[in-house]
Amino acid sequence: MSALLQGLMPHLMVAPILLPMLVAAVMLLVGEGKRAAKLVLGMSSTLLGLAISVALFAWVDAHGAVAYLPGNWPAPFGITLAVDRLSAGMLVLTWLLGASALSFASARWHRAGVHFHPLFQLQLMGLSGAFLTADVFNLFVFFEILLAASYGLLLHGSGKPRVRAGVHYVAVNLAASSLFLIGVAMIYGVTGTLNMAELSARLSGVGVANRQLIDAGAAILAVAFLAKAAAWPLNFWLVPAYASATPPVAAMFAVLTKVGIYALVRLWTLMFAGGPLAGFGADGLFVFGVVSSVLAALGMMASQRLAVQAAGGVMVSAGTLLAALGLGEEAVLGSAVFYLVSSTLASSAFFLLVDVVERWRAGATVVDEAPFLSATLEAQEVNLDDEEEPLVALPFPASTALMGMAFIACTLLISGLPPLSTFIGKVGMLSAALGAGGASAPVSARAWLFTGVLLGCGLLTLIALTRTGIRTFWSEMHRQPPRVRAPEGLPLVALLTACGVLALAAGPTMELASATARSLYDRRGYIKAVLGAEVRPPPTAREAGP
Amino acid sequence: MEVVLAVAIGILAGSGVWLLLRPRTFQLVIGLSLLSYAVNLFIFSIGGLAIDKEPILADGVPPDLAHYTDPVPQALVLTAIVISFAMTALLLVITLASRGMTGTDHVDGTEV
């Protein structure tokens, strides 16, 4: 296995981008209808991508950061891809969410509109590219790819609420993309490079006269990322969009805000974790993070709709991560990476669970707001379906127990209570924040504020979710047990089990997260890998050589 | 030349932001288009303005930076133009769908 990996590296690094792109192209050739074929194709691609991501993570963990030159141009001139622990970890997370969301969608939601499967693959492609690229402008391109796919996926299923939220979502993201471009252009104008590693190295050479331009460029760029990460006050698009998206799509979108966080972590550590501009913008990130998580937790309290609360959970997690990054401590960032993974898994599982619960509450007659998924259409589709697969759900054994347990697990995870993994992440962040500067050093006001916000948000989300849980599960009698099909139950269980495994194996996984943060702050490994990536001799030179 | 370009970018960006804050979807589309024009000009100008200079190596021109203009912003702006064009088309489709479904061209889908 490792010999095979040895042979495939570093070319395997482009696989998470190329694989979904090719599969999406093939799906378009397959043509409309034929959902079963597309589902098989998409599922195989997604599982293969998951395996590749895990292999990449194992490789990077053993060998350190690796770079790849797709155009065979030396590093600062061509586009470079680079994978380190953070990128590989985000890839594993993305493809895991992709596999579970696709499995969930296969039960019914992929029938709600056209082109679900190609768009889903393109979404995975954009996400993988954003995590792999080491070039700021290329990051913009992959952002646009993933956003374009997400516009399509958000509108999947159509219907008034989705289109209405879609207009806002697209408009806000297009405006944020403009800011992204302005920031990139300003940074390029001062430093003359778009390569992230070279940018980090060149910052020390920036003169005092240009310092303000760099600051302004970095701040404008950060605003673009903060808008994607749903930081207050740029977060009003998130709740309507995520709450109205079809559930598997929303489950996939749980990782979309984390792309903004990833970009901030990547660029902030490369540019400002050391060197002449060390610590720039940390205050801003901290303040925005604190305010957005508090407001998101209050929003969860104010809402009675489960989907809105799930979207609120995404925002609380993003705000917490921003505040943790803003503390500017390596140890806090390590636990924050752990928290990022577990809270994303939890949010994704919660979006899937919301669909099951809402369908159960609506009773036997499912009233979806998707015009193309009406009862009559589903009935028609039985006749058109080659396999004549029954569209009436089979009762999943112990489905009531599954739904209740999953809700409890999601509540614990989103509010960060023991014994599941987000609790461990939160404890890690808090102990690192409070213990920063040694055991005898006084605790800074910021660390106290961070502690208060983390615990307060946990309490608010717990109250909000418990209240909804009581209303949903206990105050209603005489209901049929929910009908959960196996492709819907499995991903839900898998995602929550992943959180359980993270908690059980907290020692090694936390160690991995700390190693991730260490290499992010150290930066040398990443910079050396990117700038030292070797150009391969062209085939003609190889033939002429000895 | 710098002043003219700066004023042009400022007017485009200002008009774009103004229209972006208006309630009608058509104004939104035009506003985002104007904003993207401003951004494209801004990217183009970031490499420095030069007249009659080659962007790529040409015969008979000494190969140093004084005789060439920066080609990277031109490549960037090309990419940005294509992407913003595609996104504007997509936005138009969504606003048309919104107009058809809600019966109004207000960005919120309801007349307040």
What pLDDT tens digit does each residue of chain B (112 aa) get? Answer: 889 999 999 999 999 999 999 999 999 999 999 999 999 999 988 877 888 888 778 888 887 777 888 888 888 999 999 999 999 999 999 999 888 888 888 888 887 7
Contact B87 A170 (CB under 8 A): yes
CA dihedral A527, A531, A532, A533 (to 10 degrees): 110
Residue from A77, A140, A155, A163 to probe the interface with B (highest B Cβ count within 10 Å): A163
Contact B102 A160 (CB under 8 A): yes
How many whole angstroms separate alpha carbon A374 and alpha carbon A112? 9
> What part of B 26-65 touches A (C-beta under 8 Å)?
28, 32, 35-36, 38-39, 42-43, 46-47
> What part of A 149-188 touches B (C-beta under 8 Å)?
151, 155, 158-160, 163-164, 166-168, 170-171, 174-175, 177-178, 181-182, 184-186, 188
- Judged by DSSP in three states, A145 sits in helix
- Judged by DSSP in three states, A532 sits in coil
Range of the domain at A462: 2-544
Q: Write the DSSP string, A75-130.
A: TTTS--EEE-HHHHHHHHHHHHHHHHHHHHHHHTGGGSSSSHHHHHHHHHHHHHHH
* Number of folded domains that form chain A: 1
Residue A107 CB contacts under 8 Å (≥ 6 apart), including other chains? A393, A485, A487, A488
Instruction: Render pLDDT for A120-138 as a digit per residue (tens, 0 to 9).
Output: 999 999 999 999 999 999 9
Contact B76 A144 (CB under 8 A): no
How many whole angstroms separate alpha carbon A106 and alpha carbon A100? 10
How many whole angstroms separate alpha carbon A261 and alpha carbon A277? 20
Residue A64 phi/psi, 5° resolution? 85, 180
Nearest residue on chain B to A145, judged by CA atoms?
B83
List Cα–Cα distances, B102 to A538, B1, B110, in angstroms: 58, 47, 7
Query: With the C-alpha atoms ordered A36, A38, A40, A46, is the resulting torsion angle positive or negative?
Result: negative
List Cα–Cα distances, A455 to A297, A378, A448, in angstroms: 11, 46, 11
Instruction: Report the DSSP beta bridge partners of residue A81.
Output: A68, A133
Q: Are A80 and A533 in contact (CB under 8 A)?
A: yes
* Closest Cα in chain A, distance from residue B60 (Å): 24
Span A388-408, mean pLDDT? Answer: 67
A236–B contact, CB cutoff 8 A? no
What is the token pair recorded at B56?
């790529």
State the Cα angle at A162 between A159 and A163, rounded to 5°: 80
Nearest residue on chain B to A185, judged by CA atoms?
B43
Instruction: Render pLDDT for A63-84 as a digit per residue (tens, 0 to 9).
Output: 888 888 888 888 788 889 999 9
Task: Classify residue A135 by its DSSP letter.
Answer: B
Which residues on chain A are in Cβ contact (under 8 Å) with B65? Answer: none
Instruction: Render pLDDT for A435-489 as a digit per residue (tens, 0 to 9).
Output: 876 667 777 888 899 999 999 999 999 999 999 988 888 776 666 777 777 888 8
Instruction: Report the DSSP beta bridge partners of residue A133.
Output: A81
Q: Are A368 and A355 in contact (CB under 8 A)?
A: no
Instruction: Report the DSSP beta bridge partners of residue A67.
Output: A82
Q: Write the DSSP string, A22-80.
A: HHHHHHHHH-SS-HHHHHHHHHHHHHHHHHHHHHHHHHHHHH--EEE-TT---TTTS--
What pLDDT shows up at residue A380? 43
A213–B contact, CB cutoff 8 A? no
Residue B50 phi/psi, 5° resolution? -145, 145
Of A166, A174, A186, the CB nearest to B32: A174
Of A137, A166, A185, the CB nearest to B94: A166
Percent of chain A with pLDDT over 70: 91
B97–A contact, CB cutoff 8 A? yes
Which range has the top average pLDDT, A92-96, A435-439, A542-546? Answer: A92-96
A196–B contact, CB cutoff 8 A? no
How many whole angstroms separate alpha carbon A241 and alpha carbon A249? 10
| Helices A282-302 and A445-469, packing angle to 10 deg | 20
Of B42, B76, B95, the CB nearest to A167: B95
Contact B86 A194 (CB under 8 A): no
Instruction: Render pLDDT for A96-121 as a digit per residue (tens, 0 to 9).
Output: 999 999 999 888 888 777 888 999 99
* CA atoms within 13 A of residue A80's CA, in its CB half-sphere: 29
Q: Which helix (H) or strand (E) holds B86?
A: helix B71-102
* Closest Cα in chain A, distance from residue B78 (Å): 12
Tokens 């993309």 appear where? A177
Instruction: Render pLDDT for A342-354 as a digit per residue (tens, 0 to 9).
Output: 999 999 999 999 9
Q: Does the pLDDT of residue A276 top 90, yes or no?
A: no
Q: Per-domain residue ranges for chain B?
A: 2-102
Q: Are A349 and A316 in contact (CB under 8 A)?
A: no
Helices and strands: H and E segment counts in chain B:
3, 0
Establish whether the linkage from the previous residue to A233 is cis, with ω within 30° of 0. Answer: yes
What pLDDT shows up at residue A537? 81
Q: Does the pLDDT of residue A341 top 80, yes or no?
A: yes
How many whole angstroms separate alpha carbon B58 and alpha carbon B60? 6
Which residues on chain B are in Cβ contact (under 8 Å) with A164? Answer: 98, 102, 108-109
Pinpoint the alpha helices (H) of A363-485: 375-384, 399-415, 421-434, 445-469
Question: Count of CB atoms within 10 A of residue A430's CB?
Answer: 18
